[in-house]
Every structure is written in structure tokens, then in C-alpha cells.
Amino acid sequence: NAGVTQTPKFQVLKTGQSMTLQCAQDMNHNSMYWYRQDPGMGLRLIYYSASEGTTDKGEVPNGYNVSRLNKREFSLRLESAAPSQTSVYFCATRPIPGPYEQYFGPGTRLTVT
Amino acid sequence: GENVEQHPSTLSVQEGDSAVIKCTYSDSASNYFPWYKQELGKRPQLIIDIRSNVGEKKDQRIAVTLNKTAKHFSLHITETQPEDSAVYFCAASKGTNAGKSTFGDGTTLTVKP
């Protein structure tokens, strides 16, 4: 089993460009999350999806949109990238109900110039 | 919402010494407290967790203690080894609300040989 996968691994964008970060899981988990991690800081929640067909804002949703395409896939879209969105983005999943451990993807390192 | 504070932000110990990292949380309804280890360039991975109905949990050299009254929990690593060097994150979450977690800002642990 692949667990949680993310594509791409690295991306460089110019200010104003758009892109979509992809996340997929084969763990049959209901809940999925998108976090950003800036240097020296913890993980901040951007958006989450408690189950297929639902999405909700987290702490730092401005400048992002998400789509829960099906149970397996949860994508994060930057419509008009800004340098402040330079970060490492992690997708995570969790079985709800059940143990509350989160399982993280390998991350996408995004640089906006 | 929940607020998690983590101290210290950096910690340096000699190999074989013990390391202690402390976190406080604000929401008394939080009932699940995981600790994640993140090595450089890697994804966060769970190393130990504790639920609110337990005061202490041990797994070999790692232990976590929880004081619900004071709303704080701590990670204890004994007999530290160089491979324990990493960033450690605490988190707090509730069983409701899609199991969202709030993370501390992380502690960079360096174990000197």
C-alpha cells in the first residue's frame, strides 16, 4: 500500500500563476487535511474534509481552494500564487471514527518568486 | 479555538542524557494528544500518543505524561541517541469536529555524541 501520496514533490511558480496540489490515499480514511509548514513553525491547517463531499476552512484558508473529488483524493488549488505562499505543503488523513493518529504524505515544496 | 504552546523551541543534550519537551493547551474538551517526530526533509510521524483518560504512557525510551487539570502534557526521552535528533511537535485534538488537530510550533532536539 502506498499510504498517502502527493504530487508534485517540488514546484516553482511565478507570482500570479495557478496550480493544483494533488493528494491521494489508499487507507480508506474518511478525513483528509491540508497543512502548510513554514520554517521554524508548526503545521497550520488550511482546509479539511471530514468526509467525501464536505470541506471546511482551517486556520489559514485565504488564497486557497480545495476539492474532495472522492474518498481517495483531496486537492488544493492556488488560484493566483503569492510569495507568501512559499511553504511546504502536507496532506494528511485520519480514520474517523477510530484512532486519531494522522498519517502524512511526503510533502510538496512550493516556491513562489 | 484551541491554542497549543510548546517549549522549549530548541533543546541540546549530550548523548545518554534525558530530554523533556512540554506543551500546554487551552481547550478543556481536547482529549487526544499525539507527539510527532519530523526528521529533516521528511514527513511528521507519530511516535507516541495519549488519551485524556490516561495519565502516563511509555514506549521503551519514550514516555508522555498528561495533567488534565493543568492542561499540559510532556514528552520524555531517556538515554538519548544521536538518531533522536529531529523536530518534535505536540498536538491536541477532540474526537468531534472532524478530529482537527492544533499543533505546537515544534522543538528542535539536538543530541550531541
Whole-Å CA distances, B102 to A18, A45, A112, B2: 28, 8, 26, 7
B55 φ/ψ sector (left φ>0, alpha ψ -120 to 50, else beta)? alpha
Contact list in A for residue B103 (CB cut-off 8 A) is 42-44
Displacement of CA A92 from its chain's centroid (Å)? 7
Distance from CA of B18 to the nearest CA of A (A): 23
Contact A102 B106 (CB under 8 A): no
Res B98: pLDDT? 65
> Which of the four pLDDT bands, split at 50, 70 and 90, describes residue B94?
confident
Residues B73/B79/B84/B86 CA torsion (nearest 10 deg): 50
Distance from CA of B2 to the nearest CA of A (A): 11
A3-21 average pLDDT score: 97
Q: Report the chain B residue with the minimal C-alpha distance to residue A105.
A: B43
Residues of A with CB under 8 A from a CB of B: 31, 33, 40-45, 48-50, 56, 58-59, 90, 94, 96-97, 100-102, 104-107
B18-31 average pLDDT score: 95
Position B97 pLDDT exceeds 60: no
Contact list in A for residue B29 (CB cut-off 8 A) is none
Three cell numbers written together for A27 = 487507507
> Which of the four pLDDT bands, split at 50, 70 and 90, describes residue A95?
confident
State pLDDT tens for residues B44-56: 999 999 988 889 9
Position A26 pLDDT exceeds 60: yes
Contact A45 B105 (CB under 8 A): no
For chain A, strand residue ranges (E) read: 4-7, 10-13, 19-25, 31-37, 43-49, 56-57, 64-68, 74-78, 87-94, 103-104, 108-112
Contact B43 A106 (CB under 8 A): yes
Nearest to A88 by CA among A1, A2, A10, A5: A10
Scanning B11-40 for CB atoms below 8 A from A yields: 32, 34
Contact A42 B105 (CB under 8 A): yes
Portion of chain A with pLDDT greater than 90, in percent:
81
Q: Report the chain A residue with the minimal C-alpha distance to residue B34.
A: A101
Displacement of CA B105 from its chain's centroid (Å)? 11
